[in-house]
Structure 1
Amino acid sequence: MIAITGATGFLGSNLIPKLKDKKVKCLVRKYIDNSKIDPVVGDINDTVSVNKLLKKTKVLIHLAAVIDSKNKKDYYKVNVQGTKNLIDSCKKNKVKRIIFVSSMASTKDYLDDYGKSKKEAEDLIKNSGLDYTILRPSFIYGKNSNSMKKMISFINSFKFIPIVGNGEYTLNPVHVDDVVKAIISCINSRKSIKKTYDILGRNEISFNEFINVISEKYNIQKRKIHIPIPICLVISSVGSILGPSFPLKKSFVLSLESKYKGTIASAERDLNYSPISFKEGLNK
């Protein structure tokens, strides 16, 4: 039996159909009628529902997380305290195997509240004594992804495309199908126990190229305007007051100079990981 948190999110909803030959229990906030899963109503801060989720379970796949919130305490409550509750329940129910989907946000030189909470959750899992695997995806995209919808909405809200700085800094978007394959590879992989993997796309691309690929795909014909980083910092600081929906994050601007970009070498070796390029993924 496999237990999953965050099953109704973008990643979880893409993972579950690929586990059709497995028995799956999912922690959900509201009851859902789905013949493919056994739903357990509750949340990761409710000990009773978490124990029910993990009873007679062999593997926990932990996807649930708060990504954007006006309240900083939400990051700690769900991403950190929720993870601790799961660890405690794993021990109580003799569940040894946990696959935790973290984020590349935990590796940045400048950590925002989300990145800090993911880093703290990683540390809890590493020190838990469980047979863990930690996966750190970068920007996850795919059909119906909220992140891509927000990006396109942001581009369409201007008469031009605003670019932070010179746009030559790199990112490495990963298609949701590749993240799903990595998770499934970990389930029965002894090699992956007590290891952490960066889960990235096939190639690094500059932000300029990232925007070019999106513009070509969605027939967006606008010129790019490069905005100096100091001005972007001011804009993002003001925007943070408006709430998490503001598209330009201060943490994003400050993280552009982060030295660690990630590597898929160990995932390729241990998980037979072979991701697709951003352009290929956008056309799936």
Structure 2
Amino acid sequence: MKSSTKVVTVFGGSGFVGRYVVSLLAKDGWQVRVPVRDPHHAKFLCPCGDVGQVVPLVIDVFDEEAVSHVIAGSDAVVNLIGILFEGGRQRFDYLQASLPGVIGLAAKHAGVRALIQMSAIGADVRSFSAYGRSKAEGELAAKSSFPGVTIMRPSIIFGPEDDFFNRFARMSVISPFLPLIDGGRVKFQPVYVGDVAHAILKAVNNPKDYGGSVYELGGPRVLSFRRCLEVMLRQIRRDRLFVSLPMWIAKVQAFFFGVLPNPPLTLDQLKMLQNDNVVSSHALGVGAFGIDPVDVELILPTYLSRYRSGGGK
């Protein structure tokens, strides 16, 4: 007999988005399981809830039986696992293309009510990018095994731990120049991590309302790459010169960066940067969850101030 306590399993719960999702779920009264490779790296999540409410569990996601075991007894499952580049066992074809199907099938067999799959704007089986193709293949795998899956496709996500505005803010501290790939024309629709987490919470709690649909999550404004950097520089009160990098030069740099363990840019990421990353005009968005998205310029000052000259306010 299943316990009356609501149980949710959050794959990728120790990541950037995951910490916000776990915190909201715990505050909402859910018992939260967080499957991770190293539970010591996820201990920071435990204070998000009462004692024993948030439980990191050791798991090898390459072991399908282990995935099924950790999902058993869950009422809801959230899959936030994703990588930006490949290395070692971390490959697009399994983690982003196949694993969602494994999780979906296990969720179906466990009688899970709600499954949320994190994807990305730009997911397309015809994409020139392996990242974009694998995200689309993951969506298809999840739908095939769990037709009621809720798919979230965010644009770039910003927040205190993001790897976009923080990365370029750090760069601006040590360099008088900032690179603009292909003139910085590609467009984004930055969405606040808190808004993404609230959308996921709504989908977990209301699978009949949100299940079986795809949502593209973006903020209130569309900004070019150049404009994103201009907004960031204004917040940290620094003036920097923009250097436009033709695509062929960026490709040469990305080729050599690709051999690094944590590359700042890869050839595959460059392929993604050749297309705008904005919500489609016909797509369901954050408004479907009753969320009024937060503007990027309201949040950036709360975490970029440390990059200001002298670290001042």
Residues 257/64 of structure 1: CA separation in 2 closer, same or farther (3 Å cut): closer
For residues 148 and 220 of structure 1, the distance between their equivalents in structure 2, rounded to whole angstroms, comes to 14
Tell me which moved more, 76-85 or 203-212. 76-85
Answering whether residue 15 of structure 2 is matched by residue 9 of structure 1, we say yes
Q: Report deviation, 1:63.
A: 0.8
Whether contact under 8 Å (1:44, 1:85) holds in the other structure is no
Q: What does residue range 52-131 of structure 1 map to in structure 2 within 5 Å?
A: 52-71=69-88, 74-107=91-124, 110-131=127-148
Q: Report deviation, 1:127.
A: 1.7
1:274 to 267, 271, 292: 292
Which amino acid in structure 1 is aligned with residue 13 of structure 2? A
For residues 28 and 251 of structure 1, the distance between their equivalents in structure 2, rounded to whole angstroms, comes to 26
Gaps of 5+ in 1: none
Residues 69/253 of structure 1: CA separation in 2 closer, same or farther (3 Å cut): closer
Tell me which moved more, 263-272 or 41-50. 263-272
For 1:231, the equivalent position in structure 2 comes to 249
Gaps of 5+ in 2: 1-6, 303-313
Answering whether residue 124 of structure 2 is matched by residue 133 of structure 1, we say no
2:233 to 215, 220, 240: 215
SS in structure 2 at match of 1:146 = coil
Report the TM-score when normalising by structure 2. Answer: 0.81
For 2:175, the equivalent position in structure 1 comes to 158
Which amino acid in structure 2 is aligned with residue 212 of structure 1? E
Q: Report deviation, 1:244.
A: 6.0
Q: Report deviation, 1:169.
A: 2.9
Structure 1 vs Structure 2 CA RMSD: 2.5
Which amino acid in structure 2 is aligned with residue 223 of structure 1? L
For 2:192, the equivalent position in structure 1 comes to 175
Q: Report deviation, 1:120.
A: 0.9
Whether contact under 8 Å (1:27, 1:53) holds in the other structure is yes
Q: Would you say how many aligned residue pairs link Structure 1 and Structure 2? A: 283
Q: Report deviation, 1:186.
A: 1.0
For 1:198, the equivalent position in structure 2 comes to 216
Quick one: percent identity of the two aligned structures?
21
Report the TM-score when normalising by structure 1. Answer: 0.88
Q: Report deviation, 1:156.
A: 4.0
For 1:28, the equivalent position in structure 2 comes to 36
SS in structure 1 at match of 2:197 = helix
Which amino acid in structure 2 is aligned with residue 80 of structure 1? A
For residues 173 and 122 of structure 2, the distance between their equivalents in structure 1, rounded to whole angstroms, comes to 26
